[in-house]
Amino acid sequence: MQPDAGFFLGPHHLAPLRPGMPVLALAPMAGVGNWVFRLICARLGARVVGVEFINCRVISEKSRRTDRLLDFSDAAIYDDTGLSLLAAQIYGNDIGLIAAGAAEMEHRGAHIVDINFGCSVPQILRKGCGAAYLKDLDLLFRAVKETVDAVTVPVMVKTRIGWDADSINILEVVQRVEDAGAKAIAIHARTVVQKYKGKADWDWIARAKERASIPLFGNGDICCYEDAIAMTRHTSCDGVMIGRAAMANPWIFSGRNGATMSERLELASEQLRLMGRYKGDRVGVLETRKHLALYFKELSRDSERRRELLTTSSLSDILEFLDRWRTDEAGNGEEADLALSAADADHLAWGGTS
């Protein structure tokens, strides 16, 4: 198949937004990948959108938190429009519960179930979850196989290149997950020990791609759209998965490194409104602030606007504030550069889990 023709992920055909673009996916991110942000990224061009990871033990709990995590309301929109595919991510140390949880995710509308074998947070590793599976590939194989057997939707996995520099085993992992029936793999090109330090080693993505017969998403250190092109050229990966840069610039999925002031103000208002619906006004505003700070990063630290943007806690007040700002800025069509800086990348990685 020609690169522009895209590829199949199970029964789903994934094509780039426009000819010549890579197939871009929103990486799963805890505290970020809720339906509001997923929908925003899907509308801007993300062909797969990752849900924040969910512990297999939490899925059967009857709680508001579980209901929220499993709120895949955007999936129905993708069904109707073909905009994107929803990839729900599960992690845990009990293979039976992972398989059962995956079935529940399918029931809730997930188009893909993604198993997390990449999380490097010590508390998670200690419990034998996430990247701990990289130390026991028989167990990893069984987790994938039992999950594949439990669902009808395609299963993918997301992982790292190995535990440490002396035990890089991604090539074997690719083989094992394929044998177990996974339909795609996403690789964050760092070791577990590295967490977010150093550079992602895209050479390992290239080597894995040479061996893989399932579609492969490369991941790690995409700061701007050109990085996604560069990763595709360097590795021949089928798709590029973008995490932190998307938090700062969801327009990256349209192949843009920024947006005009009126586009940013409009998106901010919409995101706040939808987050209010999802989490309630107060928490919705609070949880959107990390994006707002990045969308309007040109505001100087001591500016009155920045203060108001990041401290107003009432939804109606902040929407009014954005409206006033929009009126002041009418006619300013300049596109701001929202590419992720090294400092922002480090800062955002602090809470990153995989």
Ligand X SMILES: Cc1cc2nc3c(=O)[nH]c(=O)nc-3n(C[C@H](O)[C@H](O)[C@H](O)COP(=O)(O)O)c2cc1C
Q: Which spans of this chain sit near ligand X (rule: CB under 6 A)?
A: 27-32, 52-53, 89, 116, 118, 158, 188, 219-222, 242-245, 348-349, 351-354
Least distance CB 260 / ligand X (angstroms):
24
8 Å CB contact between 41 and 83: no
For ligand X, the closer CB: 78 or 196: 196
Please give the sequence-ordered ranges of beta strands (E in DSSP) within the chain, or none if there are none: 7-9, 12-14, 23-26, 48-50, 54-55, 85-91, 112-117, 155-162, 184-191, 216-219, 239-242, 258-260, 335-337
User: With contact defined as beta carbons under 8 Å apart, do 113 and 88 qualify?
Assistant: yes
Nearest-5° Cα angle at 108, 103 to 113: 50
**221: phi > 0 → left, psi -120 to 50 → alpha, else beta; which?**
left
**CA separation (Å) from 19 to 8, 22, 29, 214, 332?**
16, 8, 28, 22, 30
Please, which residue, 140 or 245, has the CB nearer to ligand X? 245
In the residue annotation, 119 being an active-site residue is answered as yes
- CB-neighbour burial class of residue 5 (10 A; exposed 0-12, middle 13-18, buried 19+): exposed
* Rounded (10°) CA dihedral 24, 41, 85, 110: 130
Least spacing, CB of residue 222 vs ligand X, in Å: 5
The active-site residue out of 41, 119, 129, 224 is 119
**Cβ nearer to ligand X, comparing 117 with 325:** 117
131 vs 261, which CB is nearer to ligand X? 131
Q: How far is the CB of 209 from ligand X (least distance, A)?
A: 17
Least separation in angstroms between residue 257's CB and ligand X is 15
Min dist. Cβ of residue 1 to ligand X (A): 26
Q: Which is nearer to ligand X, 222 or 268 (CB)?
A: 222
User: From CA 98, how far away is CA 95, in angstroms rounded?
Assistant: 5
Active site residues per annotation: 119
